[in-house]
Amino acid sequence: MNLYNLHGEKQIQKMEQEIDTNELGESIVRILKGIYDPEIPVDIYELGLIYDVMVNTDYEVKILMTLTSPNCPVAESLPREVEEKVKTIEYVKDVDVEITFDPPWSKDLMSEEAKLELGML
């Protein structure tokens, strides 16, 4: 379909819908809050395993996360689950999950909600 302005000049219509990267970030956090460490009945976001979520203008996502320990039994499956579930969000083009142990995870990284759930408050 061609669009013309009042002067009869052809205009280009942008067909791609723009989505706010902040809104996309909120959707990602909602997904992360639905992923649980199998040994602890608290989601990985509230546990403090997610250090950073970055979304660029091309809707590519990078997640910096840690595990409760380097020897964590879900060291291979949990990052893969994070990647697969975040990729299901509309507009997300790619997901890169990076594991770091710097700084190492500690109970201090847990949210108040997680501490309350685990009886630590």
Residue 2 in this model has a pLDDT that exceeds 60: no
Q: Which residue has the tokens 């989601």?
A: 43
Which is nearest to 104 in space by CA: 66, 75, 76?
66
- Amino acid identity for residue 26 in this structure: E
Q: Model confidence over 43-90: pLDDT tens digits? A: 999 999 999 999 988 899 999 999 998 888 888 899 999 999 999 999
Q: What is the pTM of this model?
A: 0.80
Architecture of the 17-117 domain: 2-Layer Sandwich (3.30)
Q: Domain boundaries in the chain?
A: 17-117
Q: Model confidence over 3-49: pLDDT tens digits? A: 444 445 444 443 345 667 888 889 999 999 999 988 888 999 999 99
Residue 13 and residue 29: Cα distance in Å, rounded? 32
